[in-house]
Structure formats: structure tokens, C-alpha cells
Amino acid sequence: AKWVYGFGDGKAEGSASDRNLLGGKGANLAEMCGLGLPVPPGFTITTEVCKWFYDHGKAYPETLEADVDAALASVGRSVGREFGGQEKPLLLSVRSGARASMPGMMDTVLNLGLNDETVIALAKDAGDERFAYDSYRRFIQMYSSVVLDVDHEHFEEILEDAKATLGYELDTDMTAADWQGVITRFKALVEQETGAPFPQEPSDQLWGAIGAVFSSWMNARAITYRQLHNIPAAWGTAVNVQAMVFGNLGNTSATGVAFTRNPSTGEKRLYGEFLVNAQGEDVVAGIRTPQDLTEQARIESGSDKPSLEKLMPDTFREFTSICDRLEAHYRDMQDVEFTVESGKLWMLQTRSGKRTAKAALKIAVDMAAEGVITPNEAVCRVDPASLDQLLHPTIDPGSTRDVIAKGLPASPGAATGEIVFTSEDAVAKAKEGRPVILVRIETSPEDIHGMHASEGILTTRGGMTSHAAVVARGMGTPCVSGAGGIRVDMKAETIQTPSGLLKKGDVITLDGSTGQVIRGKVTMLQPELSGDFGKLMEWADAARRMKVRTNAETPADAKAARSFGAEGIGLCRTEHMFFEGKRIVAMREMILADNEAGRREALAKLLPMQRSDFVELFDIMAGLPVTIRLLDPPLHEFLPKTDEEIAEVCEAMGVAEDLLRERVEALHEFNPMLGHRGCRLAISYPEIAEMQARAIFEAAVEAAGKAGEMVVPEVMVPLVGLKSELDFVKARIDAVAEEVMAETGARFDYLVGTMIELPRAAIRAGSIAETAEFFSFGTNDLTQTTFGISRDDAATFLQTYQQKGIIEQDPFVSIDIDGVGALVEIASKAGRDRRPDIKLGICGEHGGDPSSITFCEETGLDYVSCSPFRVPIARLAAAQASI
Ligand code: PEP
Ligand code: MG
């Protein structure tokens, strides 16, 4: 097998299409090299080696060493240097690079190859002693913490101590001799901590670093990141070894990162930061505040430090033209890293840039408008789940804001919550359902779980590409970074602001779009659904085959769903309508009645309320299909539970407590979800179904009189397992329809159909379709009954199942294609065979889940139905599934 792929001098053994083998970074380095862009030569050790490494107890394939030696020699020839050489030493960077980008999750070692001798050669060759010793101490520090597991803090302490003793403030005050002193102390520290001297042999250093990168694939933060992003552990990482180029070689050197468009807003403008006389990690680490790339950005930020455009105009021009080229080549916004060494530009990385949902939307729509991609490609460029972020509130510009600090607008959106200072507190409070804002000086990969649990993130240090900013944007969490005007005391758990002290638990609001930190809660605004959003949705609608309906029973939900583009109601759960105000009283009267006459009397009171609800829904839906489900839950759900509630209800209804208790007890069931519910109620008490059918039909007639557009109501019978059950209930519905037509003289069409939410119904769907005019897959109950897992109790153990790898995804969130999905397929096919024009839809939670929607498209369902806020997600996911 070929384990090592070289690149350099305009040639490469791999290309962008080798991402699985070379990792994202390696594949793109090869691609850039192939394009003739200035890339420091190097080689990539493949992800296959990583797999081999773990399959063989952390050993390497036999030929790997020889392959690496050959590749190293070739790199050396290309730059005219020799690894471990005493005159012109070749120094290396060793970086990880997985198939999917995992920013900051894995380890990197720079300046590898330095030792007590090569450092002297480097000093001579560069003509700069200070630079050489600075590089050496950086290397010892980085290598020791990454490869030898010596705590990073120990080195920082020595450095701080040295500066204090010398009376310096900045690292840049340190002279070559000062650094030599520090290096001696660093080496002593390593020997003391590890029991062995710092490795001097360059090839030992290299193999140590390679092993550390492969090992970092299984470190805790990489594992957490993979879990959060559904990245399989089996992919492995590649290792990229490259000739070092130096951004810290004085004031004509620099290093930086850039996005070819703004990753927060999507605006088409080069966007990034750099530091003069610095090395790669300094920018991302957020330790020094970086400078703007463009003059325009500098003016806008009000920075007094010159932009790259001003400082190095030729380099800047070359850089922008490379950025344009990369964007055109990859046909997507790029995130690049670069270094300028003594005036010469080098490209260190390019990849498709992570972006906010807002930016993804704008970039996709803009690129389609620019003709770079097609509208269908634009539709596929936006992650449906991310639309959630766009549908979330922003701060009302008219509201008064008590702004206590300002930082960088690192990740847009607004969030309110209680201040916490540690990730542990963030997770704990979030578990209690309390929204929190995580406040840190800066974040590190160890904070991932806390950041994930937080509504918003505030840091006092670091730029737009600091860890906090990058990760928050990826998560869609609002973030303000680098709020230097406030001081965080992590020990006391307080924030000192110009206008006073805030402590843990105090409520603040972040505006991630402006960088403002605001005391207390602020009025929020609903999002804008026109513009780019409207355009993309238009393209999505043109591309999709399935219809998207909503699950709604209140007028407010129905209206919201319409504004999000719902094309009808796929599930109106009528029971929700019985809980409000006076209705619950009539409902309880009905349940407490001991004969049919008593029940009919109570139902007569419910009829007008139910009818007016339906009239309103039909009005809002203006001729679009509306599926109304007959009463589903077990009746005891409507009865009071605690003693106090029982007393209250008896008082209000004027019934004896004994009677009520007796009735509550009589209705008690051991397994209510498998008990007296669904169509079983309609069979026991047909008068309930009759009242509901009457309300539906009378409402249809009334709504038609008002709007002129006649709805075709779809009456849905829940929890059917037998054709005979449906036959029984349908006969009642049909009889009521006849009555209403006779009474009103109006003619109307309607459909009677059923939920398919029991395995028996799915298996017998052919026979059920003789009666049912439509099927709606109730995948919540179908999942519950197929697995035999209670949907109300699953949370306690399904998480363990996921952690232990028994299941990959929660089947109540994403449809279990092999099991539940198989039943859906069987039922769809049988239903269609028996009744070719049968309407098929889904109304379980899965109707709003993108991967389940893909399954629905493949199964040929006619529509999906989901909660109002998920309608745009479903429209986009349905379109992507069609393309
Ligand atoms: C279902 O079971 O999938 C369904 C939509 O009905 P409910 O959630 O109301 O039981
Ligand atoms: Mg159900």
C-alpha cells in the first residue's frame, strides 16, 4: 500500500478528491500545490496508517519508515535544506488533518527538528539569533505539552517569572540570551517531569510527533467533538508534515487567517486577521489582538494598527488574487491560513469555511446569482437544521439596552441567560432547564460541553477567529468575544464592568450581531423571512416533490406555520382543544357522566366551541387540506390528579369528591399508552366521534359560506390496528356527514383515513386501505410500539444506549429506517396496491427531521407534517432529498 503522499514545487501525488485518504488538510494542500500556488513542500501520512496504528496496538506498517525518509529527503532537496543538518537545518511542522474539519481539536507541533546544535545553525543561516532561540523555546514548549504530556502551564510560569525578573512586559522584549536562559530552564523542567532529557535527535522528535497526532484522534476532546458532529471514529486522521516557513522572522514576516467572504454575515468581502512577526498558533490562540487584513476593515474597526493592505501592499495583492482563485476553483467560500516569510507569501491551508446559517444562506444565494453555482446547488449548500438559527429572535432595535460592555460580534443572534463561569456550571444549570451565558477569559477545547449547553458565550480576550468565536459560529450559538472593557475574576465568580459588579446567576443578554453585552433581559424580535431566505425557499419549493404541512391546533400556530410556508395541516390534535378554559369542565362532565344521555348532554356544550375552532383553522388555511384527528388520549388525562386538584374540581363542578375519586380510579390503567385510547374510545363511546365529525362538517359549511373556498376536511382515526375498527368509526362519520348535508343543504367532499401507528396496521395496511382514503404515519407511536420502548420513559436509558454504541441515533428523533422504516415501506406499498390514489403522509416528530425526510422522499410519501418552526427546515430538506 502507498502510505505517504508527497507535494511541493507545483506537483502533488494527491488531490482534493483524495479527502478520505489524505484528510481535508492534506487533500487541499495537494490540490493547491497542483494549482501552482505557493505551498511549502511536504507530505501526508494517510488515514489508512491511522487505522493500521489502532488495529495493531499503536504500531506502524513496516515500510512506513522508509517511505517517510524518502519523502523527507525530497522535501529537503526542494528547499535546499537537510533534516537534522548542521548547516541549513530543515525544520518541520507536523499537523493533524481528518476527513471532516475538527478545528482546534487535534494537536500540532511546529519548529520540529531544532536541538542544541541545529538552533545554532538556524541562527547563523537566518542571521538572527533571537529568532532562532525564540523558535527553539516555542518548540520545546509545544512538543513537550503535545507529545510528552508536560503541563503547558509550567512553561508559562517559567516565562512569566523570567520576564518579571528581567523587568519586561512583552515576549518581544526578550533577547536571544534571555531566551537561552529560558530554554535551559525549560529543558530542566522536561527532565524533571518526564525523567528523561528533552529529545535531541530530530528523527525521534518526528516519530514522537507523528505518534502524538495519531494518538490525539482518541483524546477526550476529539471524541466529544466527533460525538457532537456525528463523525465516525473509524475515519482516523492523516498527519501532514511540511517544511516550516516562518512568520516570526522579523517585521517583514507575518501570519494570518482569512475567509474569502464574511463567515458571520456572508458579505462578499475578504475578511480576516494577521499578526506581524508571529507564528501560526498565535492568531488562533487569541493571546495578542490581531490586525485587520483590509484597509476598509481597519477603518471600520477603528484600529490604530495598520492593515496588511497598507503594510505589505504587494503581498496583499498576491494574497487577494490567490483567494479569488481558490474561491472560483472550489466554487465555495474558503477559509485559508497563510504566512509571510521575509516578504514571501506561503499558503498553509484552504478549506470550505465554516459559517453561520445566515452567512451560508447569503453565500449560497449570492453565488447562484453570480452564476458560480446553480439554484439547485445553492439549495443543497444550506444545512436544513441550521435554518433554526435564522428563525430565532434578535434584539428589538427599538428596545432600551443597558449596554455594560462591547466586544466583537463573533457569532450572531441574541441570547439571554444567567451568568456562569465554568463549563460544569453551564451543563448543570442547562440540565435544570435554566438558560445560561458562559463567561470566560477565553475558551479552550476543554470547554466544548459547556459551550454546547449555553445559550450564549462571552469572552474578554481573543479575536474573531479565536477558539470561542469559531466554535460558537459552528454551533450557531450567539457569541461576543474580546470584550476587553470588562474584567472577569474566575475565583470570585464576578465580572467587573464600568457600571458595576455582576455575579454568578445575574441575567445578561448578548447581542452576537453587534458585540454588545447588556444587563438583564431585552425585548426580542421575530426573524425576517423574506430576502435571501425567501429566495432560497423559492428555489427549494421549485425543486421539491413532497408537500410540507404542519402539526397545529391553535390559530396562532396555524398562522405561524402559514407564514413559514406550510401547505396545510397534517395533524390537528383535537384533544389539545379540550384543555382550555371552560372546555375542560364540559369535558370532565362528559367523562363523569354514567350513561350515553349524560355524555351527549356534555358533548352538546363542546360542539359549538369545537366547531368555531375548526372554522378558524379552515379560514387560516384558506382551502388548503386540513387533517383533523379524532380524540386520541386516554380519558383520565383530562381528570385531576392530586388531592388539591380533585377538591378544586369537585367544588367547581358541584360533584361529590367520592364520585370523582371513584371515576379517576376506574379509569386508571397500567399501560395507558397501550390502553383505552385512540379509536378504542370511539368504539366505546361513538357519540364523542359523532360530535367531533359534526363539528368538522358544520365548520366546513360555515367556513365555505364566509370565504367561498371549500375545504376538503380529512377526518383521521387514530390508533387503528384492525380494518373492522376503522369500518365501525367510518360508518359513524359517514352517517354524520349525511345528516349535516341534509340539514344544511350543502354538498361537501371529505376524506376519512387513519393513522398508521401500530405494527399491525402497517402489516395489514392493504386491507385497511379498502376503507382508508389516506394514511398518516404516526411514527411516534409506531416507533414506541415497534421497539416496545415507551416514548415517555425512553430518555433515561436511550442515552446510555447511545453512549455504549448500541444505537447510533435516538429513534424518536431520526427514523429507524431498518425497522420502523421497513414498516412504513410495507404499508405504503400495500396501501398503494389496494388504492392507487391513496394519500400518504407522516405526522410523527420525524416529519421535521432532515434525515427522516430523505427517507420519506425515497419511500414516495406525498407529504410530511411537522411543527410550525420546522416547516422551513422540512421544505429545504424535502428539496435536497429531491435533487
Ligand atoms: C404519532 O404517534 O406519531 C403521532 C403523530 O401522534 P401523537 O404524537 O399525538 O401520539
Ligand atoms: Mg400517536
DSSP per-residue letters across 576-637: GGGSSTTHHHHHHHHHH-SSHHHHHHHHHHHHHHHHHHHHHHHHHHTTS-EEEEPP-S-GGG
Pick the catalytic residue: 33, 50, 154, 467? 467
User: In terms of CATH, what superfamily is 52-243?
Assistant: ATP-grasp fold, A domain (3.30.1490.20)
Exposure of 793 by Cβ count < 10 A (0-12 exposed, 13-18 middle, 19+ buried)? Answer: exposed
Q: Which atom of ligand 1 is nearest to the CA of 757?
A: 2
Say how many residues make up the chain.
883
Torsions phi, psi of 505, nearest 5? 95, -20
Q: Find where cell 376503507 sits.
A: 771
Q: Which atom of ligand 1 is nearest to the CA of 778?
A: 3
Give pLDDT, residue 877: 98
Q: Which atom of ligand 1 is nearest to the CA of 776?
A: 5
Q: Pocket of ligand 1, candidates 571, 674, 719, 790: which has the most ligand atoms within 8 Å of its Cβ, to mutate?
A: 571
**Complex-level ipTM:** 0.99
Per-residue CA distances from 699 to 325, 382, 590, 603 (Å) = 62, 40, 22, 16
**Is 753 in a helix, a strand, or coil?**
strand
User: What is the Cα Rg of the chain in Å?
Assistant: 33
- If one counts every other C-beta atom within 10 angstroms of the C-beta of residue 34, the result is 17
- Classified by CATH at the fold level, domain 544-634+669-882 comes out as TIM Barrel (3.20.20)
Rounded distance from Cα 564 to ligand 2 centre (Å): 24
Exposure of 582 by Cβ count < 10 A (0-12 exposed, 13-18 middle, 19+ buried)? Answer: exposed
Angle of CA points 387, 222, 504, to nearest 5°: 70
Q: Pocket of ligand 1, candidates 717, 757, 820, 865: which has the most ligand atoms within 8 Å of its Cβ, to mutate?
A: 757
Residue whose CA is closest, atom 4 of ligand 1? 778
Rounded distance from Cα 666 to ligand 1 centre (Å): 25
Residues with CB under 5 A from ligand 2 (ion): 757, 778, 781
Cβ-Cβ contacts under 8 Å for 526 (sequence gap 6 or more)? 393
Would the annotation count 781 as a binding residue?
Answer: yes
Rounded distance from Cα 694 to ligand 1 centre (Å): 23
- If one counts every other C-beta atom within 10 angstroms of the C-beta of residue 773, the result is 17
Angle of CA points 532, 533, 538, to nearest 5°: 95
Would the annotation count 573 as a binding residue?
Answer: yes
- If one counts every other C-beta atom within 10 angstroms of the C-beta of residue 744, the result is 15
Record the cell numbers describing residue 766, joined without a space: 392493504
Residue whose CA is closest, atom 1 of ligand 1? 778
Q: Find where cell 488495529 sits.
A: 55
Euclidean distance between CA atoms 122 and 126, whole angstroms:
6
Rounded distance from Cα 789 to ligand 2 centre (Å): 14
Kindly state the greatest CA–CA separation across the chain. Answer: 105
Q: Pocket of ligand 1, candidates 755, 789, 867: which has the most ligand atoms within 8 Å of its Cβ, to mutate?
A: 755
Q: What residue spans define the domains of the chain?
A: 52-243, 254-355, 392-525, 544-634+669-882
Rounded distance from Cα 572 to ligand 1 centre (Å): 11
Question: Which residue, among 823, 829, 880, has the nearest Cα to 853 in the 3D structure?
Answer: 880
Give pLDDT, residue 528: 74
Rounded distance from Cα 442 to ligand 1 centre (Å): 44
User: In terms of CATH, what superfamily is 254-355?
Assistant: ATP-grasp fold, B domain (3.30.470.20)
Segment holding 83, helix H or strand E: strand 82-83
DSSP 106-118: S-EEEEET--TTH
Number of H helices, E strands in the chain: 35, 34
Q: Which atom of ligand 1 is nearest to the CA of 780?
A: 3
Euclidean distance between CA atoms 681 and 688, whole angstroms:
8
Give pLDDT, residue 349: 94
Mean pLDDT split into 10-residue runs, the chain, 883 residues: 94 96 96 97 97 96 97 96 94 93 76 97 94 95 93 91 91 92 97 96 97 91 83 92 93 95 93 89 69 94 92 97 97 96 96 90 97 97 85 78 88 91 92 92 81 92 74 78 88 90 95 90 80 95 98 88 94 86 85 92 95 95 95 90 83 86 90 95 97 97 79 96 98 98 95 98 98 97 95 80 85 94 98 98 94 98 92 96 97
Q: State which amino acid sits at residue 321.
A: S
Rounded distance from Cα 625 to ligand 1 centre (Å): 19
Euclidean distance between CA atoms 679 and 632, whole angstroms:
7
Give pLDDT, residue 468: 83
**Is 571 in a helix, a strand, or coil?**
strand
Would the annotation count 757 as a binding residue?
Answer: yes
Q: Find where cell 423559492 sits.
A: 538
Site residues for ligand 1, CB cut-off 6 Å: 571, 573, 632, 757, 778-781, 843-844
Record the cell numbers describing residue 136, joined without a space: 527553539
Record the cell numbers describing residue 675, joined without a space: 390502553
Judged by its nearest atom, the ligand closest to the C-alpha of residue 844 is 1
DSSP state of 445: G
Would the annotation count 14 as a binding residue?
Answer: no
Would the annotation count 680 as a binding residue?
Answer: no
Judged by its nearest atom, the ligand closest to the C-alpha of residue 841 is 1
Q: Pocket of ligand 1, candidates 550, 572, 573, 783: which has the most ligand atoms within 8 Å of its Cβ, to mutate?
A: 573
Residue whose CA is closest, atom 9 of ligand 1? 573
- The structure's pTM equals 0.79
Per-residue exposure over 103-140, b if at least 16 CB sit within 10 Å of its own CB, e if not: bbbbbbbbbbbbbeebbbbbbeebebbbbbbbbbbbbb
Q: State which amino acid sits at residue 451.
A: M
Q: Pocket of ligand 1, candidates 549, 781, 846: which has the most ligand atoms within 8 Å of its Cβ, to mutate?
A: 781
Rounded distance from Cα 783 to ligand 2 centre (Å): 10
Would the annotation count 709 as a binding residue?
Answer: no
**Is 278 in a helix, a strand, or coil?**
coil
Q: Which atom of ligand 1 is nearest to the CA of 844?
A: 3
DSSP 116-129: TTHHHHHHHHHT-H
**Helices (H), ranges, 149-280:** 152-166, 176-194, 202-216, 220-229
Residue whose CA is closest, atom 8 of ligand 1? 780
Euclidean distance between CA atoms 674 and 682, whole angstroms:
15
Residue whose CA is closest, atom 6 of ligand 1? 778
Rounded distance from Cα 813 to ligand 2 centre (Å): 15
Would the annotation count 629 as a binding residue?
Answer: yes
Judged by its nearest atom, the ligand closest to the C-alpha of residue 551 is 1
Euclidean distance between CA atoms 641 and 337, whole angstroms:
63
HEC profile for 774-791? EEEECHHHHHHHHHCCCC
Q: Which atom of ligand 1 is nearest to the CA of 551?
A: 5
- Bridge partners of residue 411, in order along the sequence: 479
Pick the catalytic residue: 572, 679, 843, 866? 843
**Is 510 in a helix, a strand, or coil?**
strand
DSSP state of 233: G
Euclidean distance between CA atoms 568 and 851, whole angstroms:
22
**Is 284 in a helix, a strand, or coil?**
helix
| Sheet bearing 487-489, strands edge to edge | 487-489, 494-497, 500-503
- Considering the four listed CATH numbers 3.50.30.10, 3.10.290.10, 3.30.70.380, 3.40.50.720, the one that applies to the domain covering 392-525 is 3.50.30.10
Residue whose CA is closest, atom 3 of ligand 1? 778
- If one counts every other C-beta atom within 10 angstroms of the C-beta of residue 509, the result is 26
Residue whose CA is closest, atom 10 of ligand 1? 781
Asked if 229 is an active-site residue, the reply is no
Question: Which residue, among 358, 375, 656, 329, has the nearest Cα to 527 in the 3D structure?
Answer: 358
Asked if 33 is an active-site residue, the reply is no
Torsions phi, psi of 414, nearest 5? -115, 150
